[in-house]
Amino acid sequence: MGAPTLDCQTTLKSRVSLSGVGVHSGKPVSMHFSPADPDTGITFVVSRSGEQTGEIRALFSEVGSTDLCTVLGDPAGLHVATVEHVMAALYAMGVDNVMIEMDGNEAPILDGSAEPFVDAFEQVGLEKQSVSRRYIRVLKPIRVENGASWAEFRPFAGTKFEVEIDFADKAIGRQAFSAPLEADFFRTEISRARTFGFMKDVERLWAAGYALGSSLENSVVIGEDGRIINLEGLRYSNEFVRHKMLDAMGDLALAGARFLGSFHSYRGGHKLNAAALHALLSDRSAFEIVETTRRERGRSIEMVAVNAPVFAPWNI
């Protein structure tokens, strides 16, 4: 990562909105992103019929479900579903504090990627705030396993993601991708990767109340013969693993701060990402909270440990 620089929290310069349908609910929803004060983090404000029904903070302690998507809150009550794409965009583009007002319970799927969110944030720009950004620095290896699947955090001088997938379907197969957490790289190499699914699973998902808003406009669909049904084809030759990385970034953004370390997963998904984050944050010897600060009358900048929560107590 090189010599540290004085790193400040950021928010959006002004309000920006996006509208679409939920990929699982199929219901229309609008999201309005507004600037927020330092140290407030990311908060979802859910409303119905114009009246606010509640707030949910974008923190791991609020995860209520990881079946097919990441859900914050109570799935049977106040909740926000499919937050991983918007959280990945906020995380990678460096937005620390924002209030997100929604008139529904599921984030819009848009084109199935994080690119529309990135475009919206770049449209209004970011504003630097006069408070240091805090990081979660990984101090020792933490690993979780579930059958043949596994995920782990390791100490690393920077932030790196390594994701590997392995599908029996010939359209996907085994793919691996490694990437730093950098805004420019995310914008061009990850943000455009779309969610994907198999035509053979559609009827089962519909019967279970999922994928009601899914279409060829917002998902890469693999047919019974193993071919990509979408006329435009793939946006990247390995779009599937890049989307899995996008999901992992969004899920790990719920730590409440960026982490300094490497994250590596094999055959992962929302549930495994959540399990790895839980394992890390439940072991206080595995991480420390750090921030950059000026030393020696402003002549040098160091990254030092601070005895402070990130945006909330560790409610895990």
Residues making up the binding site for Zn(2+): 85, 243, 247
User: How many residues are there in the chain?
Assistant: 316
- With 0-12 / 13-18 / 19 or more C-beta atoms within 10 angstroms meaning exposed / middle / buried, residue 40 is middle
User: Annotated binding site, which residues?
Assistant: 85, 243, 247
Catalytic residue of the set 24, 264, 270, 278: 270
The per-type count for the chain, helices as H runs and strands as E runs, is 6, 20
CA distances from 250 to 2, 71, 225, 243, 256 (A): 25, 12, 31, 11, 11
The C-alpha atoms of residue 42 and residue 91 are separated, in whole angstroms, by 10
The dihedral of CA 130, 257, 70, 84: what is its sign? Answer: positive
Q: What SS3 class is residue 17? A: strand
The C-alpha atoms of residue 129 and residue 202 are separated, in whole angstroms, by 46
Q: How many CB atoms lie within 10 A of CB 274?
A: 20
Over its C-alpha atoms, the chain yields an Rg (Å, rounded) of 19
Say whether 79 is catalytic. no
CA distances from 193 to 90, 235, 287, 305 (A): 16, 7, 31, 36
Catalytic residues: 270
